[in-house]
């Protein structure tokens, strides 16, 4: 079996914001296809494509109304097939998002389920009677605010939703639901995709008795009600793991496929490992390096050393469509290009599969979106304390001097950020010192050095702000050293030196010398 995903670099595309090919202000599948050559030049191994399925777009595609069709705003199934063929022609893999835990309220399954208590899909969603006083079945909360229950006047029951009220949760305790979901996966596998990214993969099952969640002890307050609870009963149930094995059994019937789970849990690493033992999913990523800060050598080391399993394979990302871009999240509004290049260098040296979010190769900061332009329901709900996800979803800047940064010929669905536009592709592709050029070099180094893709990782004892670790594979040993501060450092470090393979800095007479946010990769004897 070709485990192409192990140690690979996968480029995440949020199609709505990547490139608009038809002038409606929204990116589409044909737009992605038109940029395949650009993606290939990055040196990545594949693409993760965020949802493009039919949807009312209450959560911009994560509320699916038809799992087997493309939403017209993105194109057609024929457009998807062209994209898939285009990716495969240049040697890129293509994995697609699958949102199984919930559907849109506009899905025909939910329309039938809510019509009565005894129809053929009556038990396809999580329904519950009101308590004797008319109140909700339990204390569960929705991640986007408010209770996890909404009253349906037609059925005269509450239905559960972990996210928006327009995203009712499927009842995976029903074998018919499981069978239908596996059939949807088969539909796309038969079409030729290379794998799945499973959205909120640990949210499929809830406690069948609907027991209350206990409170969480606070030592400083929470920014939203959801975080006041320990989510012991509304997610991460034992049955969830069994269904992961069913997905894996299906995928093993095809050649060279992979599945990566998104794990949302306070038990970041432990839960990820649980989902990626050999008979379950191929890999998983979590939010330990997406939500936490400030950035430090300890944060990186704690994340990597927490992955204690040799059998399970990790995945890592610093940015995605759900969190503030890493340049701004960790570096603030005045983050330098040197800081951004350091982040890319560290990411490409980590053990695991790497996910690189669109625009990260350009060193984009978080986009600025004024309140009256916000689209994200989470941003609108929690404004101004939480600016939501629009800032990381602003359109990809392709051309500096074109209207709307060359993303579209008309005003895009989210505004163009002028700071991002100055970092457009057309400017950077001509500059050998640009962040884009640096990204390509970092990815090339990873592909050339088997120890970086597949090797073990062992951290070297160094004080902050130095991050140092050794990557080893079949007798080959590389030492990666980074200065995570804005001041030059010089320090003794005993290693077996052969030569510097990559980076900015020096090693001489047993001493490392690194400029602000510098880093080097050293080949040992």
* Mode of pairing for the β-strands spanning 127-128 and 46-49: unpaired
* Residue 379 · residue 360 · CB < 8 Å: no
**With left for phi above 0 and alpha for psi between -120 and 50, is residue 203 left, alpha or beta?**
alpha
Compute the Cα dihedral for 471, 299, 217, 384 and give only its sign: negative
The residue written with tokens 């951290």 in the block is 459
Q: Give the integer Cα–Cα distance in Å for 202 and 423.
A: 37
Catalytic annotation present for 411: no
Report the alpha-carbon distance of residue 507 to residue 11 in Å, rounded: 33
The torsion angles phi and psi of 120, rounded to 5 degrees, stand at: -65, -20
The residue behind tokens 């010929």 is 409
Tokens (6 digits) for 152 = 């349906």
353-357 and 315-316 as β-strands: parallel, antiparallel, unpaired? parallel
Which residue carries 């330990």 as its tokens? 288
Which residues lie below 8 Å from residue 49, measured CB to CB, with a gap of 6+? 13, 15, 32, 83, 94, 95, 96, 97
Choice among 28, 262, 390, 417 that is catalytic: 262
What gap in Å lies between CA 11 and CA 51, rounded to an integer? 14
Strand order, beta sheet including 157-160: 127-128, 157-160, 149-152
Determine phi and psi for 354, rounding to 5 degrees: -110, 130
d(CA 12, CA 392): 12
The question of whether 129 is a catalytic residue gets the answer no
Can you give 448-508 as a three-state secondary structure string? HCHHHHHCEEEECCCCCCEEEEEEEECCEEEEEEEECCCCCEEEECCCCEEEEEEEECEEE
Residue among 166, 169, 199, 322 flagged as catalytic:
199
- Report, as residue numbers or ranges, the catalytic residues: 199, 262
């Amino acid at each position: 079996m070709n485990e192409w995903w192990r140690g690979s670099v996968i480029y995440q595309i949020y199609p709505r914001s990547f490139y608009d090919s038809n002038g409606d202000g929204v990116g589409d599948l044909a737009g992605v296809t038109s940029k395949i050559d650009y993606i290939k030049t990055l040196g990545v191994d594949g693409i993760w494509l965020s949802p493009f399925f039919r949807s009312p777009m209450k959560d911009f595609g994560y509320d699916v109304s038809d799992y087997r069709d493309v939403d017209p705003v993105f194109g057609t199934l024929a457009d998807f097939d062209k994209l898939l063929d285009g990716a495969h022609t240049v040697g890129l893999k293509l994995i697609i998002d699958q949102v199984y835990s919930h559907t849109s309220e506009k899905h025909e399954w939910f329309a039938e389920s809510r019509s009565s208590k005894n129809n053929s899909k009556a038990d396809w969603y999580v329904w519950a009677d009101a308590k004797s006083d008319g109140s909700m079945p339990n204390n569960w909360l929705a991640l986007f605010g408010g209770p996890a229950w909404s009253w349906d006047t037609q059925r005269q029951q509450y239905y559960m939703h972990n996210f928006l009220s327009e995203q009712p949760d499927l009842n995976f305790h029903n074998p018919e639901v499981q069978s239908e979901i596996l059939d949807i996966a088969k539909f796309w596998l038969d079409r030729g995709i290379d794998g799945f990214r499973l959205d909120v993969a640990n949210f499929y099952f809830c406690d069948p008795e609907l027991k209350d969640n206990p409170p969480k002890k606070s030592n400083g307050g929470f920014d939203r009600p959801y975080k006041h609870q320990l989510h012991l009963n509304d997610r991460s149930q034992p049955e969830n793991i069994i269904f992961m094995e069913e997905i894996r059994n299906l995928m093993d019937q095809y050649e060279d496929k992979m599945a990566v789970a998104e794990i949302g849990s306070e038990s970041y690493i432990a839960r990820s490992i649980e989902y990626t033992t050999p008979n379950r999913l191929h890999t998983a990523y979590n939010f330990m390096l997406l939500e936490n800060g400030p950035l430090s050598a300890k944060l990186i080391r704690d994340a990597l050393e927490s992955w204690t399993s040799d059998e399970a394979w990790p995945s890592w990302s610093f940015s995605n469509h759900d969190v503030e871009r890493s340049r701004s999240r960790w570096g603030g509004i005045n983050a330098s290009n040197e800081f951004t290049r350091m982040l890319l260098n560290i990411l490409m040296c980590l053990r695991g599969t790497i996910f690189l979010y669109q625009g990260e190769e350009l060193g984009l900061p978080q986009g600025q979106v004024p309140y009256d332009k916000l689209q994200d329901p989470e941003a609108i709900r929690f404004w101004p304390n939480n600016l939501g996800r629009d800032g990381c979803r602003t359109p990809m800047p392709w051309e500096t001097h074109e209207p709307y940064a060359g993303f579209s010929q008309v005003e895009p669905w989210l505004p163009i950020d002028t700071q991002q536009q100055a970092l457009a592709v057309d400017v950077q592709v001509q500059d050998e010192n640009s962040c884009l050029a640096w990204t390509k070099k970092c990815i090339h180094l990873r592909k050339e050095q088997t120890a970086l893709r597949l090797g073990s990782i062992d951290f070297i004892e160094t004080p902050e702000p130095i991050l140092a670790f050794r990557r080893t594979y079949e007798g080959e040993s590389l030492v990666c050293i980074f200065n995570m501060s804005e001041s030059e450092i010089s320090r003794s470090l005993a290693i077996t030196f052969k030569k510097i393979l990559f980076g900015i800095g020096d090693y001489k007479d047993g001493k490392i010398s690194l400029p602000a946010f510098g880093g080097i990769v050293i080949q040992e004897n």
